């Protein structure tokens, strides 16, 4: 090696590759890995290793400095996570003679923490749900939706929860989901603190609950997507300025899914759910949301095509194969073939393939 400074390419582009890796993890349903990539502060130690083979190969060390909660939830599998991120980053880039030699997860400096707030004793209106509570409430996958409702419509709300599961949505229904050994208020707050979106089921008595208005206020303060489903009552107060959905109980599942799928995180959960589509009828139901997708990245297009090609039930559903457009829509290919984008077609055995 010479003594002069080397102008490395990979460290300058690492942010770009981390962004792509975040999308890849979202596509594959690896939420923990995506959380690490999105929330980490980053620094690169250039020239961590050097091998003079083939004109010289330089390895860099990538440090991902995590908030304490994320670091502690990852620490037992830290070595595996570091190696996986390293392998995935090296699989994304094609920069000659440079690679990521090591990835290190570190906890951000405790001196920078507001430790009084993190003690859980300081009253400031904010809360961070513990990892075990988050997993208990939502499971491991899915777009997390808090369903705010009056207890009188518990059965109808549970039906919505069951219907949305098909679309890759994991719902919290307080009267059904609260663990009997946990304090009622604590579990509701954990769900509100870790939700991805909030849906208010606006029935006549919605405003009479001791909880619903507080739940709305929590959602507004957090800034998550909010939908007010107008069943018997018009949205009011803070929630009156958010998107309202006019529908019946029977149409609410499709209506909610069509609005939420405009969110990129929800779209990734939907694509992952397509892989698990259990039958033709479910495929037709899932296809109703296709027309509401506003934009697709290249990786999302690839994931949609792969989900369709790998699932016989999707390929057999009219909504996805487009064989009965009047009843079920034009099929997946028509939504993939946007102007200026790659073009696709159905093959003779109803797989989707690119047009060469």
pLDDT of 19 > 90? The answer is yes
CA distances, 195 to each of 59, 146, 187 (Å): 39, 6, 12
* Alpha-carbon gap, residue 47 to 8, rounded angstroms: 9
Domain boundary among 112, 146, 165: 112
Q: Is residue 117 in some structural domain?
A: no
Question: 283 is written with which tokens?
Answer: 């495929």
* Alpha-carbon gap, residue 41 to 26, rounded angstroms: 19
Q: Which of 131, 186, 191, 204 is nearest to 161 (CA)?
A: 191
Domain of 23: which CATH number?
3.30.70
* Alpha-carbon gap, residue 112 to 102, rounded angstroms: 26
Residues 96 and 32 in one domain: yes
Domain boundary among 193, 224, 259: 259
Residues 247 and 143 in one domain: yes
Residues 90 and 136 in one domain: no
Lowest pLDDT segment from 2-6, 162-166, 296-300? 2-6
| Residues 32 and 74: beta-carbon distance below 8 Å | yes
pLDDT for 319-328, tens place per residue? 999 999 999 9
- On whether the pTM is more than 0.75, the answer is no
Residues 183 and 151 in one domain: yes
Q: Is residue 120 in some structural domain?
A: no
Q: How many domains does the chain have?
A: 3
Residue 5 gets which letter from DSSP? P
Residues 227 and 319 in one domain: no
Residues 29 and 146 in one domain: no
Q: Is residue 316 in some structural domain?
A: yes
* DSSP output for 273-339: HHTT--SHHHHHHHHTTGGG-----HHHHHHHHHHHHH-HHHHHSHHHH-SSHHHH-S-HHHHH--T
Q: Is residue 274 in some structural domain?
A: no
CA distances, 112 to each of 25, 67, 144 (Å): 29, 10, 30
pLDDT for 83-119, tens place per residue? 999 999 999 999 989 999 999 999 887 554 455 555 4
Q: pLDDT > 90: what percent of the chain? A: 58
| Residues 109 and 38: beta-carbon distance below 8 Å | no
Q: Is residue 270 in some structural domain?
A: no
Residues 328 and 350 in one domain: yes
Residues 324 and 301 in one domain: yes
* Alpha-carbon gap, residue 76 to 245, rounded angstroms: 44
Residues 147 and 229 in one domain: yes
Q: Is residue 310 in some structural domain?
A: yes
Residues 89 and 144 in one domain: no
pLDDT of 34 > 80? The answer is yes
Q: Is residue 118 in some structural domain?
A: no
| Residues 288 and 282: beta-carbon distance below 8 Å | no
Domain that holds residue 34: 10-112
* Alpha-carbon gap, residue 301 to 21, rounded angstroms: 16
* Alpha-carbon gap, residue 221 to 126, rounded angstroms: 9
Residues 346 and 253 in one domain: no
């Amino acid at each position: 090696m010479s003594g002069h400074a080397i102008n490395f390419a990979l460290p300058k582009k690492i942010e770009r590759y981390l962004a792509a890796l975040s999308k890849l993890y979202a596509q594959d349903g690896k939420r923990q890995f995506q959380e690490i990539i999105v929330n980490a502060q980053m620094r690169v130690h250039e020239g961590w290793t050097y091998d003079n083979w083939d004109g010289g190969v330089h390895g860099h060390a990538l440090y991902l400095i995590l908030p304490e909660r994320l670091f502690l939830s990852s620490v037992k599998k830290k070595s595996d996570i570091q190696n996986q991120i390293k392998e995935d980053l090296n699989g994304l880039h094609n920069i000659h003679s440079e690679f990521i030699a090591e990835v290190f997860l570190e906890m951000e400096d405790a001196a920078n923490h507001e430790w009084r707030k993190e003690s859980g004793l300081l009253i400031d209106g904010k809360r961070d749900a513990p990892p075990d509570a988050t997993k208990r409430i939502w499971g491991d996958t899915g777009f997390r939706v808090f369903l705010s409702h009056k207890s009188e419509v518990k059965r109808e709300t549970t039906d919505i929860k069951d219907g949305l599961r098909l679309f890759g949505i994991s719902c919290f229904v307080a009267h059904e989901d609260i663990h009997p050994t946990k304090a009622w208020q604590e579990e509701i707050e954990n769900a509100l603190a870790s939700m991805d979106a909030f849906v208010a089921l606006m029935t006549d008595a919605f405003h009479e609950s001791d909880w619903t208005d507080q739940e709305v206020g929590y959602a507004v303060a957090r800034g998550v997507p909010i939908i007010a489903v107008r069943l018997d009552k018009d949205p009011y107060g803070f929630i009156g300025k958010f998107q309202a959905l006019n529908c019946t109980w029977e149409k609410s599942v499709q209506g909610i899914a069509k609005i939420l799928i405009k969110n990129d995180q929800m779209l990734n959960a939907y694509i992952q759910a397509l892989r698990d589509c259990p039958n033709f009828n479910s495929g037709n139901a899932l296809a109703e949301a296709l027309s509401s997708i506003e934009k697709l990245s290249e990786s999302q297009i690839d994931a949609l095509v792969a989900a369709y090609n790998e699932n016989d039930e999707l390929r057999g559903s009219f909504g996805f194969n487009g064989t009965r457009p009047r009843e079920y829509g034009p099929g997946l290919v028509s939504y993939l073939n946007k102007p200026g984008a790659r073009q696709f077609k159905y093959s003779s055995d109803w797989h989707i393939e690119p047009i060469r």
